[in-house]
Structure 1
Amino acid sequence: MGAVLEGLRSLDAYPKPDEEQSVKTVTGAVVSVISHIIMLLLLLTNLTEYLSNPGLSEEIFVDVSRGSKLNINLDIVVPGISCQFLGLDAVDTSGDQHLQISHNIFKRRLNAQGQPIEDPQRTESLGSSKADEFKKTIEKLAEKKEGGEEKKEKEVKCGSCYGAESEDLKCCNTCADVREAYRNKQWSLPEPDKIEQCKNENFSEHLKTAFTEGCQIYGYLEVNRAGGSFHIAPGQSFSINHVHVHDVQPFSSSSFNMSHNIRHLSFGQSIEGKGSPLDGHYEIASDGIVFLES
């Protein structure tokens, strides 16, 4: 047994010197103290991190709940199209179509360099909301007459729809009404300069700025927990025979570009320590009129 231990002792690569041959110095003491302090700090740091950040376990399961909603959080920049002509829609396999979503969605105009032009605004329909209110509101004017004042109802003019009148839309008092009438007929819209309502609203002037500004769309939308999609696209959206389409006829241009930057995109509640794989993703359209899906 002694021979075995002696042979094992001969393999020691770090032999300990004899006590009388070792010399203790101040430098060695300082190095020892610093080493012990570093080891203690590392131990406390790892222990604190372990106790304060419990591990996350991922599990995939089928959600069998019915009627619940899912939040989609987004922050997307489209640098080549003005906010006035961009809309956010969502469709799903259950047949629900949410067009021109404005609830909890904000738009911020950007200049050509990507800098904000104004404070963010809630999205509005691409039609004229003020004009819609005008059609539903009866204006009253006060006119002076002998012996007092009398209020009378102002007669609302019935504008032409340029041959696209229907039972549902007999009068077109705004450019949006004319475009809606032509969409219902599935006709191609004439040049805006040839439509009196569009000339009054300077629609052609607005079209000239469609590709000189950018837009940041951010916020969240609630959708059904079902298969579906949401998209950001130019033009007024509408449904024909349950088919979702966009009217992009006014934007027929080689400058039409849907390049975008996904600053943030996530589904459901955010989880601390978990990021989204699409955050910071850029998608570039280099071939003219292109729609992109991320």
Structure 2
Amino acid sequence: MNAVFNKLRSLDAYPKVNEDFYNRTLSGGVVTIVSVAVMLFLFISELSLYLYTVTESQLLVDTSRGETLHINFDVTFPYVRCSMLSLDAMDISGEQHLDIRHNIMKKRIDSHGNVVEVKQDGIGAPKIERPLQKHGGRLGHDEEYCGSCFGAEESDDQCCNSCEEVREAYRKKGWALSNMDLIDQCQREGYVQKVKDEEGEGCNILGSLEVNKVAGNFHFATGKSFLQSAMFLADLLALQDNHLNISHQINKLSFGAHFPGLVNPLDGVKWVQGPSHGMYQYFVKVVPTIYKDIRGHVTYSNQYSVTEHFKSSEQGAVPGVFFFYDISPIKVILLKKLDYFILLKSGHVSFDVGVFTVAGIVDSSIYYGQRTIKKKMELGKYR
């Protein structure tokens, strides 16, 4: 039996060294610490490399119909007062939204950029529930008052209970409102005085729009809903400064939700008006985008590219900032992926073996070099 064990022992490819022959040295400890630090550094570098996601993109024809486009904006006009700034939108289907107020916030800013007042309701004063006049034949102690529209009523029972409603009724008729101080609602609200109080101020307008997913435009006009009536525009311009300065800074403009890696070209863009007045135009190409992260979460959004153009008032341009957008028929799908962890494991083993081998060579060189020097010193040959 012992002979069999001896034969098996002779086949051992991994001979063991007796612990009595081990010699632990200071240099070996230093080399060990350095090699472990190097292996940790390489492991972290390799791990970060494999954890870094790769983006795979696909292009498909966008066949979706009947969807809406969500537009987020934040634009500052240093020289246009909030009372004279309106937001309108329209598309090629003929749908129009004039003087949009829903989901819109305006901030009055002074010449130094400090916020003076925040207007949630947009332009004009709040609605007065009990104006000075009674209209439409509504009598009785329990009935609410109904303000007159001063000849612009579309029906006998139409009420205009605020200065803004009177102005809206006149806009629909295409009439100019020559003197708002004569309108009881406007006089009570002090509308004209409020506009004059904003002289020298600017406006920061921010919010969001929900429009049809077709080509269209939205614009910030220096005069409320000027497309309704040229006469009304002239009336509004009488309250404005002599020079219409539409210098602006786009703090944010996006079409849809944000996703990692999304770059909006117009974020932070600033334009300063020169000696000419007119309309500044942005032509935006919107590309529908679907982003899917490594956890499978899907975000429906859009990317866009843009070109710019200025049209002077000599060419018939109305002062304002216009964003003309068109929808690309091609949809982009972005997929975030990770590499397989097995590649990390095999790579980690290979560089561990390499570092361990090199460290062993360095340790042996230091150890035997020290022994050689020590022997020579003992023999008196090393000086």
The structural deviation recorded for 1:281 is 0.2
Q: What is the 5 A alignment of 1:20-59?
A: 37=37, 41=41, 43-59=42-58
1:229 match: secondary structure: strand
Give the Cα separation in 2 of the matches to 1:80 and 1:274.
31
Q: TM-score, normalised by structure 2?
A: 0.52
1:232 aligns with 2:231: no
Cα-to-partner distance string for 1:204-247 (whole Å, 9 max, x where unaligned): 3122234422222223222221111112223332765xx99983
**Is 1:280 matched with 2:268?**
yes
- Greater relative CO (CA pairs within 8 A, separation 6+): 1
Please tell me the residue identity of whatever aligns with 1:108: K
Larger CA deviation: 229-238 vs 216-225 = 229-238
Change (3 A) 1:30 1:84: farther
Is 1:130 the counterpart of 2:118? The answer is no
Aligned pair partner of 1:152 in 128, 141, 152: 141
Alignment of 1:230-269 (within 5 A): 230-237=218-225, 240=228, 247=233, 249-252=235-238, 253-269=241-257
CA RMSD of aligned residues (A): 4.0
Question: Could you say if the C-alpha distance between residues 209 and 59 of structure 1 is closer, same or farther in structure 2, counting changes exceeding 3 Å?
Answer: farther
Q: Are the structure 2 counterparts of residues 62 and 106 from structure 1 closer, same or farther at C-alpha, using a change threshold of 3 Å?
A: farther
The 8 Å contact of residues 77 and 246 in structure 2, kept in 1 or not, is answered as yes
Name the amino acid aligned to 2:251. Answer: R
Letter in 2 for 1:259: S
SS of corresponding position for 1:249: helix
Q: Which has the higher helix share?
A: 2
TM-score, with normalisation over the residues of structure 1?
0.66
**% identical aligned pairs:** 36
Deviations 1:33-68 (A, max 9, x none): 879956863x44543443333122344433211222
Contact kept, 8 Å, 2:126 with 2:162, in 1: the verdict is no
Read off the aligned partner of 2:120 and give its amino acid letter: R
Q: Is the contact made by 1:262 and 1:281 (CA closer than 8 Å) also made in structure 2?
A: yes
Pick one of 207, 210, 234 that aligns with 1:219: 207
Shift in Å at residue 81 of structure 1?
A: 2.1
Instruction: State the match for 1:85 in structure 2.
Output: 84
Q: Secondary structure at the match of 1:247?
A: helix
Alignment gaps of 5+ in structure 1: 1-25, 139-150
Q: 1:251 to 1:57 in 2, by over 3 A?
A: farther
Give the unaligned 5+ runs of structure 2: 1-25, 135-139, 283-383
How many Å separate the matches in 2 of 1:166 and 1:73?
A: 36
User: Closer, same or farther in 2 for the Cα pair 1:48/1:186, shift >3 Å?
Assistant: same
In 1, distance between residues paired with 2:234 and 2:198? 12
Q: How far apart are 1:134 and its partner, in Å?
A: 4.2
| Rg comparison, structure with higher value | 2
